[in-house]
């Protein structure tokens, strides 16, 4: 496993929000980053151009398409000169309250959410393994959610997909440890991003902030710090862990 700075890192969903902050954190540590986007090429290029250091690249894939996932991972590894770290950050959140959603909408949202949030991450990890093994090991970090534990009543597919991602990470942590590959998970609560702005700036924003005794939600860089640590050599024996980054807004035993 490569140690310290100068690693090759692929971050999915890195064209904005948490993913962009994660890319920034790795680049600031001296790593080369592949900024993945699904359909936001201009935003991805802007993120990559703003990263410190050099050698950063932009890659594209619809994570619901297994073929595109494989091509994206292989392209990232080729353009970065290998792969040391994979961060499965990309995810979608589509509301589908069970009592007001049609059956057709229900089916569509469940299929779409699981294909991106869970199966897409599983496929990206599978495709990254040959590259990580070539380096003698590496790290996979998954970005989950507080909703995997607390529940997501208006978006149950999202909560279920993140609970599945937690289980995937723990299963792979056991399977891959003998090969020098660590797998960790970060589970944020609400984060101050463009995606959450409508809620946080709306009438329910104060209630969301009050969920934490800090009286605020997380900053993207706080989530990124946890991801960066889990991918570090110093966190090797924390493989399999899930770190909550929710400001004590939800505590689990």
Q: Which of 11, 137, 126 is nearest to 76 (CA)?
A: 11
Q: Which of 143, 165, 163 is nearest to 152 (CA)?
A: 163
Q: How many residues does the chain have?
A: 253
| Active site annotation includes 250 | no
In DSSP terms, 191 is beta-bridged to 218
Catalytic one among 26, 149, 158, 190?
158
- Residues belonging to the active site: 158
């Amino acid at each position: 496993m490569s140690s310290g700075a100068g690693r090759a890192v692929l971050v999915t969903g890195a064209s904005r929000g948490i993913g962009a902050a994660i890319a920034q954190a790795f680049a600031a540590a001296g790593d080369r980053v592949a900024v993945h986007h699904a359909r936001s090429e201009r935003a991805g290029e802007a993120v990559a151009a703003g990263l410190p250091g050099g050698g950063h690249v932009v890659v594209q894939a619809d994570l619901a398409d297994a073929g595109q996932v494989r091509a994206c991972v292989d392209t990232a590894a080729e353009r970065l000169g290998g792969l040391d770290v994979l961060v499965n950050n990309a995810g979608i959140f589509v509301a589908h309250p069970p009592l007001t959603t049609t059956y057709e909408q229900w089916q569509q949202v469940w299929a779409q959410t699981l294909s991106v949030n869970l199966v897409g991450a599983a496929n990206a990890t599978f495709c990254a393994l040959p590259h990580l093994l070539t380096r003698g090991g590496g790290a996979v970090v998954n970005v989950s959610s507080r909703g995997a534990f607390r529940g997501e009543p208006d978006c149950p597919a999202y909560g279920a997909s993140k609970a599945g991602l937690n289980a995937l990470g723990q299963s792979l942590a056991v399977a891959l440890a003998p090969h020098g590959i660590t797998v960790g998970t970060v589970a944020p609560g609400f984060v101050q991003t463009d995606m959450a702005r409508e809620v946080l700036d709306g009438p329910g924003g104060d209630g969301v902030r009050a969920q934490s005794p800090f009286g605020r939600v997380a900053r993207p860089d706080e989530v990124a710090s946890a991801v960066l640590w889990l991918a570090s050599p110093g966190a090797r024996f924390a493989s399999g862990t899930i770190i909550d980054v929710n400001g004590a807004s939800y505590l689990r035993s």
